[in-house]
């Protein structure tokens, strides 16, 4: 028992092997992170963005229901409790765009715009 206590007391700090292993792990992690960041391709650039059509959504109230997981002490079990909220949604003007990228890809996307932009495009 005394020998074990003495060995524990004499073994202070990290040894040479532990230091080499720790340094190697840090270098490997750094290399993995660097290769991940440099391996990303640049995003495709938008070449053409042409409006197709617009839509106007008037102000309205919207009802949203979510389920919340709660503990029911009466029945000693977990239950889903519906939580319903009514939210006011302002007027919304949107435009559907046909988008062409420099790599030849095409996409369509709705974009929310101001009323002035919407009126310009709808002319």
Residue range 32-78, pLDDT digits in tens? 887 777 666 777 888 999 999 999 999 999 999 999 999 988 999 99
DSSP letter (8 states) at residue 37: H
Tens digits of residue pLDDT in 72-108: 889 999 999 999 999 999 999 999 999 999 888 899 9
Please give the sequence-ordered ranges of beta strands (E in DSSP) within 10-101, or none if there are none. Answer: 46-57, 60-72, 77-89, 92-101
Answer whether 111's CB lies under 8 Å from 97's CB. Answer: yes
**Partners of 84 in the β-ladder:** 65
Q: Domain boundaries in the chain?
A: 1-40, 44-123
What is the C-alpha to C-alpha distance for residues 10 and 39, in angstroms, rounded to an integer? 47
User: For residue 89, what is the DSSP state?
Assistant: E
């Amino acid at each position: 028992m005394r020998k074990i206590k003495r060995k524990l007391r004499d073994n202070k700090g990290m040894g040479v092997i532990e230091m080499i292993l720790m340094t190697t792990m840090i270098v490997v992690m750094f290399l993995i992170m660097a290769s991940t960041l440099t391996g990303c391709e640049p995003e495709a650039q938008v070449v053409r963005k042409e409006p197709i059509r617009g839509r106007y959504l008037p102000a309205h109230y919207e009802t949203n229901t979510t389920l919340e997981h709660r503990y029911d002490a009466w029945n000693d079990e977990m239950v889903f409790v519906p939580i319903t909220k009514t939210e006011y949604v302002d007027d919304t003007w949107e435009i559907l765009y046909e988008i062409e990228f420099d790599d030849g890809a095409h996409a369509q996307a709705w974009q929310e715009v101001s009323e002035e932009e919407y009126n310009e495009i709808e002319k």
